[in-house]
Chains A and B, each alone.
Chain A
Amino acid sequence: MILIDMQTDRFDPEKSEFLQPSESEIQTWMSKAFDMGIEALENGEVPVGCLMVYNNEIIGKGRNEVNETKNATRHAEMVALDQVLDWCRVREKDPKEVCEQTVLYVTVEPCIMCAAALRLLYIPLVVYGCKNERFGGCGSVLDISSDHLPHTGTTFKCIAGNRAEEAVEMLKTFYKQENPNAPKPKVRK
């Protein structure tokens, strides 16, 4: 099921149309994002995976690296954004121009921090799986994706709900193996 957030009026319709991925594109890229999530799971990280797609090309991908780096901000999106910036540097492309045409595919709704980072880099569209009730920055806890923040880049649009149940299952698997006695699974993303 695909839920399109009712924020379309905030966006340039032409740009939005250009970026609007087809159902089959969404399926293809989301399944790769899930692969990244599984990789995170196998490495003992919170299973969240993402891809950044520009002109039908993956220019960045990431999974949580929080435990590996001992840095609690190394979420999948932050890792992928760094790769996008590297990609631009190597090709001497302007990051803003590239990011403005780049779609993020991620298994879980970006958190408040990542949503702000996506704004700061002018990413216009995010396709995500399940909601992030604890930290979500695209409507769950705060709505950083569409709030009026004139000094924090640009707003972005979200397409939510793609393979949401699977994304939740993946998180549940992680927290089960993390602490079998935990009374409540804590979704730390």
Chain B
Amino acid sequence: MEPQAKRRKEMDKCDTWDVLPVLSDEKSRDTELLPAYAAPIIEKRETSRLVKELSLIYPLPGLQHIKRVRACKDKSSPHPLEVIVCLARDVAKGVMPADLLRSQSFDSSGLGEPFLVEIPANPPLTRPQFEKASKHWPTSFHEDKQVTSALRGQLFTADQKAKMQDYMTAAVQAAKSGREMGMDAVGAVIVDPESEQIVAVGHDCKRGAQPLHHAVMVCIDLVACGQGGGAYNYEKYPACQFSSSDFFRNGCNSKETGQPYICTGYDLYVTREPCVMCAMALVHSRINRVFYGAPSADGALGTKYKIHCQKDLNHRFEVFKAVMLNACEALHKK
């Protein structure tokens, strides 16, 4: 263990970093907009009839999130409501907006002149997306409260962040030990969040004979070692360690199912965003959550791919980044 003073100094830095969720593309993309025609409802009592008839002649398929009618924001507006007439792409070439309402089968009484608006193309999945979308046109929104607080950096308590800092500090230490042996300065720690025990600590070991021994691969194998398996020996690397205590609940799991999903329920802390190989290794190992510090150029948990929320894969997990970002980034500056 480190001296108490040094420990406290590290702890003080706790509020200089945020834990940011790495969300799927659908949840993190910018609000895409579709041009559409709206028209003022001048006769309020015609509203329900107008909405009903407009939905029949101009349905909005795939846009169930759009509220057809909105209240006018501007209090001085002469009309209280506005309604979506149709999407701009549904208007045949050469048709003037005013002609839109002169349909043979449609009684447009109560409606004013159509005008162009932009409406959100996709249902908002996060509060920031909802807020952006709402600036253009009102939509429905089913809020995931956990995502909202994660995006605000409020998902974790100060106590939880202090623990994260302990684990990431161990990963940074491992990275430094690796660097002293001529390896890339990348460190990783696997934690059982239930018992709050560190299960394995590893660092990059790829210089020399084992180019695939990235820190994450080493850590996964160390967890296997701790359960009586493993494919390699890490004697040469004193900073690569595993705990072989017998209260591994996953030891039982693997016996029951016959499948060695050794990281079920475990969290990974790693100083740098995992590459494709390591990210997929975490899928195979059924990791619970991943916390990383710095992003990496071909990174597969946010930068190039988001393997953790890849459709078609049979295991998904949560990923958070920027944990002790400065300390993790500093590992690669020299």
Contact = CB atoms under 8 A, between A and B. Distances in A.
Interface of A: 65-74, 78, 81-82, 85, 89, 95, 111-117, 120-121, 133-135, 137, 141-142, 144, 147, 149-152, 178, 186, 188
B228 interface: yes
Most buried by B among A69, A82, A115, A150: A69
Contacts of A142: 305, 310
B312 interface: yes
Contacts of A114: 277
B208 to A, nearest CB: 9
B158 interface: no
Contacts of B283: 112-113, 135
Interface in B228-266: 228-231, 254, 258-263
A137 B305 CA distance: 12
Contacts of A82: 212, 231
Q: Which of A82, A85, A111, A113 is most buried by chain B, counting CB atoms within 10 A of its CB?
A: A113
Contacts of A116: 275-277, 280
A120 B212 contact: yes
B39 interface: no
Contacts of A71: 220-221, 224, 229-231, 260, 262, 285
Tell which of B276, B277, B283 has the most Cβ of chain A within 10 Å.
B277
B199 interface: no
Contacts of B228: 70
11 contacts: A65-B231, A68-B229, A70-B224, A70-B227, A71-B285, A72-B284, A72-B285, A73-B221, A81-B212, A142-B310, A188-B259
A26 B283 CA distance: 32
B166 interface: no
